Structure 1
């Protein structure tokens, strides 16, 4: 059971790392690049990216990470590694609330609203639309990135605690 607990913990780290990296990439490259582009292009590109992210590659990591963290917590519980249990369960809760629920309640509705926008030919009108979307979207993306980073750190802490137990 100890090997299963450790393996599940490592999978939890990988899943949490994937989601953290996904959100982080939006911060340090994607949104900065879109903000620097013609706003008509930025809107069109964001519409395309938001439509493409709903796929079988992204879904398991996004929706599954809290479950994998909770499963790692359960496995740690089974081997009596209390510190690991606390780390994995806390990571699962942070990921569920700061990642999945936040995304579904804030970022996704913003994305869906942007998907309905007919891109204006006037650059200034497009800039108004893009600015109204991009700035608040980025604030919430930073929030979920921080939450995902915390979940990743907690998952790593859980694996380290399993190693010590």
Structure 2
């Protein structure tokens, strides 16, 4: 089991880093850019991005992070490495609740509701729709970014502990 633990840990840190980076990019550039543009353009752009994110490149990172972390925790535990196993397990739980579950229970339903919106011709009506969506969506995105960042830190600590 021990010979599989390090490769699994490396996959875990790549996946966790990938999902943290994905959520972080929304925080520090994408949403600010959309907020700065015409709200009709922001709505159309967000609809297009949400429609395109369901793809084979994104799926392993979004769906595979928690299972990879749990696999790594199990391999570490089977190798007698209790501390790394605990760190990887806590990272899995942190991402599963704060990243994955929050996304599917809050952000995705918001995205689906926005997808059903017909973009109004009136700029003020579009501004009201966008302001309501963007402010709430960003709060939950910041939470999942923090949770994914914490999972990444725990994963890095778990990888470090494997080397001790």
Which TM bucket (shorter chain)?
over 0.9
List alignment gaps of at least 5 residues for structure 2: none
Q: Residue 56 of structure 1: CA displacement? A: 0.8
Give the equivalent residue in structure 2 for 1:79: 79
Q: Distance in 2 between matches of 1:4 and 1:155?
A: 16
Give the equivalent residue in structure 1 for 2:39: 39
Q: Distance in 1 between matches of 2:154 and 2:71?
A: 14
The alignment yields a C-alpha RMSD, in angstroms, of 0.6
Q: Distance in 2 between matches of 1:40 and 1:92?
A: 38
1:79-131 per-residue CA deviation (whole Å, 9 max, x = no partner) reads 11111011000000011111111000000000000000000011111000000
Q: Distance in 2 between matches of 1:95 and 1:74?
A: 17
TM-score (norm 1): 0.98
Q: Distance in 1 between matches of 2:17 and 2:28?
A: 16
1:19-40 per-residue CA deviation (whole Å, 9 max, x = no partner) reads 0000000000000000000000
Give the equivalent residue in structure 2 for 1:93: 93
Q: Residue 4 of structure 1: CA displacement? A: 1.2
Give the equivalent residue in structure 2 for 1:17: 17
Q: Distance in 1 between matches of 2:78 and 2:86?
A: 13
Which is worse superposed, 106-115 or 1-10?
1-10
Give the equivalent residue in structure 2 for 1:7: 7
Q: Residue 3 of structure 1: CA displacement? A: 2.8
Q: Residue 60 of structure 1: CA displacement? A: 1.0
1:26-79 per-residue CA deviation (whole Å, 9 max, x = no partner) reads 000000000000000000000000000011111111011000000000110111
- Equivalent pairs counted in the alignment come to 164
| 1:26 has 2:48 as partner | no
TM-score (norm 2): 0.99
Q: Tell me, what secondary structure is at the counterpart of 1:55?
A: coil
Q: Tell me, what secondary structure is at the counterpart of 1:120?
A: coil
Q: Which ranges of 4 or more aligned residues in structure 1 deviate by more than 3 Å?
A: none
